[in-house]
Structure 1
Amino acid sequence: MSKIRKKKIKKTNILLGFICILLAVLLGFILVTSYKSEQKESRHLSEIADDQQSGIEDYEAVKEHAKELEEISSEEAEDTEDIKSKNTEDTKDTEKTDADKTEDTKDKTTAASGIVCWGDDLINGEESNTYSYMTVLQKLLTDNGYNMTVINKTLQGGGTLSMMKMAGVSDETLQGYITRHQQAANGAQLNVTETGIRDLTEEQTTRNDMDCIPVIFMGYYGGWNHDPAELADQQEQILNTFQNKDQFIVVGTRPMDGSVTSEALDQVLSQKWGEHYISLANVTAQPSSTYEAQQAMAEAILQKLQELNYISKN
């Protein structure tokens, strides 16, 4: 074989070897690229799967949340019904309580042991047994079928300070009135009823009437510094000593010395006591110490007792 031919064969082998190397490199590149593509596709598919799983979990979470909301709404509805039911029961209980209170008030009214008259007794001696408003009132009650006893706690010729003392008002309170009277007088001479308190017997200060219905008729002989507002305050001091402070009658007449007119007295006392007040000036034109005035006052007291439903026939 010639040298020239050998050289050609050698070059061909070298070329083939080079081509093989290139093919091997190309194949390796193709394999690497394919592997990377497969890895990328695999990651993409994994992400899609994760997203789907997350979506499923979110959907389940939404369903669970909706179920919780439905349960809460149902509980709130039940609570609302419970509240409505409780309110209905409370209303019924309130109505029952109010009815019981009304019944209790009625019982207290019928439980009063009698009628007690506090204040001035303008007729004394044998005449009082026949003509005083207390005697007439007792007769009217009996004649009209009311089983009520009239108790006499009046104080003949006494001032209002002595009446409060007899009712048990404290000495400190009484001294406060006396001090104000002296200050207002500014050194002038005062009537004894404005500063003095008479000595009282044990029988007079003993209280057996605190469950009775009081009729307050006081002020004719003074003791209230010619001030209707103070007289009303003193009347209240006596009323506060009774068990039932809602049931009472106040009768007003101008003082003996004429220092205050009936109109001025009625204006203050009627405003203070409202439906509980009787103006003697509106009942009779006679002086309060007359038989006619005492009769008229007794009739007015009976009418007021009936109007206020304080008494009932047994």
Structure 2
Amino acid sequence: MSKIRKKKIKKTNILLGFICVLLAILLGFILVTSYKSEQKESRHLSEIADDQQSGIEDYEAVKERAKELEEISSEEAEDTEDIKSKNTEDTEKTDTAETEDADKTEDTKDTKDETAAAASGIVCWGDDLINGEESNTYSYMAVLQKLLTDNGYNMTVINKTLQGGGTLSMMKMAGVSDETIQGYITRHQQAANGAQLNVTETGIRDLTEEQTTRNDMDCIPVIFMGYYGGWNHDPAELADQQEQILNTFQNKNQFIVVGTRPMDGSVTSEALDQVLSQKWGEHYISLADVTAQPSSTYEAQQAMAEAILQKLQELNYISKN
């Protein structure tokens, strides 16, 4: 082979070797660059992943907090609703109670008005304490009739009093059974234990047919009894005897009871009033509270008539037609 050819081959090999070295350097550079880029990208992706994880955790925390706030709001809303519901219920109950009370009051008023209209008059039982012709002008019954008429009330006052009679005779006149009346007499005798009793405590007056005939059972009774005795000086027994007479009337809810101490002073006005006012409540009139005059005087009869009229008006027993 010629020397020239050998030189060419040698140059070519050197060139190829140089090229290979360059290629190897280039490849190394590329590999290093790629590795660095991959490392950088890996770090970036890791940071992104960390941020996402943190974001997820923050989101979960926010979501959990929102859920707690929602539950709290829901509970507060329920409490508020319960309070509103309770207030509404209480208001409804109050309104219902007030309506029922108003209805009851109206019903009671209507009942009283109807009964008052149905009553044929006012009847006075007991003793008028004034004898003879004077009673026609000065007794509380005569005065009451005049007051009713003068004030526009078309009501007749009926006289069922028994002059000087005891309560046993009054019960007999009202139609209370003999057995019931005898029961009182027996108790009086037992309590006396052999002592002498006033005739009014054991005896019953002879009564006429006119006296025992009842034409007043649809009237409003005014009971004034006990002045002459017949109740063993026991206010509780007097109240029971008054009730015996009241039970003979058609309407047992409308009545007036007037109390005065007995003639013999065996029971004080205070002791009598304490028992009878407790028994009869708003239906009771104490003569001692009305006047300081003796019950048999004109002044006391006038005061009692005025007190009875006022009580009839207060209880809505009478109305002007």
- The alignment's TM-score, normalised by the length of structure 2, stands at 0.67
User: Partner of 1:153: helix, strand, or coil?
Assistant: strand
Q: CA 1:149 to 1:30, structure 2 compared with 1: closer, same or farther past 3 Å?
A: farther
Q: CA 1:112 to 1:187, structure 2 compared with 1: closer, same or farther past 3 Å?
A: same
Question: In structure 1, how many angstroms separate the alpha carbons of the residues matched to 2:238 and 2:200?
Answer: 13
Question: In structure 2, how many angstroms separate the alpha carbons of the residues matched to 1:187 and 1:26?
Answer: 154
Q: CA 1:162 to 1:112, structure 2 compared with 1: closer, same or farther past 3 Å?
A: same
User: Partner of 1:246: helix, strand, or coil?
Assistant: coil
Q: Deviations over 1:107-149 (max 9, x none)?
A: 5322111100001120021100110000000000000000000
Ranges of 4+ aligned residues in structure 1 off by more than 6 Å: 1-103
Establish whether residue 297 from structure 1 lines up as the match of residue 290 from structure 2.
no
User: Partner of 2:152: helix, strand, or coil?
Assistant: coil
User: Partner of 1:309: helix, strand, or coil?
Assistant: coil
- Between 22-31 and 66-75, the greater mean CA deviation after superposition: 22-31
The gaps in structure 1 that reach 5 residues or longer are none
Match of 2:180 among 173, 183, 201: 173
Other-structure match for 2:104:
101
Q: CA 1:300 to 1:58, structure 2 compared with 1: closer, same or farther past 3 Å?
A: same
Q: Deviations over 1:76-108 (max 9, x none)?
A: 999999999999999999999999987761353
- Between 149-158 and 108-117, the greater mean CA deviation after superposition: 108-117
- CA shift, 1:18, in A, is 80
- Between 17-26 and 177-186, the greater mean CA deviation after superposition: 17-26
- Between 129-138 and 52-61, the greater mean CA deviation after superposition: 52-61
Q: CA 1:11 to 1:144, structure 2 compared with 1: closer, same or farther past 3 Å?
A: same
Other-structure match for 1:195:
202
The gaps in structure 2 that reach 5 residues or longer are none
Q: CA 1:71 to 1:162, structure 2 compared with 1: closer, same or farther past 3 Å?
A: farther
User: Partner of 2:163: helix, strand, or coil?
Assistant: coil
- Between 202-211 and 85-94, the greater mean CA deviation after superposition: 85-94
Q: Deviations over 1:122-177 (max 9, x none)?
A: 00211001100000000000000000000000000000000000000000000000
Q: Is the 8 A contact 2:113 2:319 kept in 1?
A: no
**How many residue pairs were aligned?**
314
Question: In structure 2, how many angstroms separate the alpha carbons of the residues matched to 1:41 and 1:200?
Answer: 133
- CA shift, 1:52, in A, is 45
Identical columns (%): 96
Question: In structure 2, how many angstroms separate the alpha carbons of the residues matched to 1:80 and 1:140?
Answer: 63
Q: CA 1:8 to 1:245, structure 2 compared with 1: closer, same or farther past 3 Å?
A: farther
RMSD: 8.5
- The alignment's TM-score, normalised by the length of structure 1, stands at 0.68
Establish whether residue 222 from structure 1 lines up as the match of residue 224 from structure 2.
no
Question: In structure 2, how many angstroms separate the alpha carbons of the residues matched to 1:170 and 1:69?
Answer: 83
Question: In structure 2, how many angstroms separate the alpha carbons of the residues matched to 1:167 and 1:17?
Answer: 157
Question: In structure 2, how many angstroms separate the alpha carbons of the residues matched to 1:183 and 1:26?
Answer: 147
Question: In structure 1, how many angstroms separate the alpha carbons of the residues matched to 2:190 and 2:21?
Answer: 138
Q: CA 1:42 to 1:281, structure 2 compared with 1: closer, same or farther past 3 Å?
A: same
User: Partner of 1:187: helix, strand, or coil?
Assistant: coil
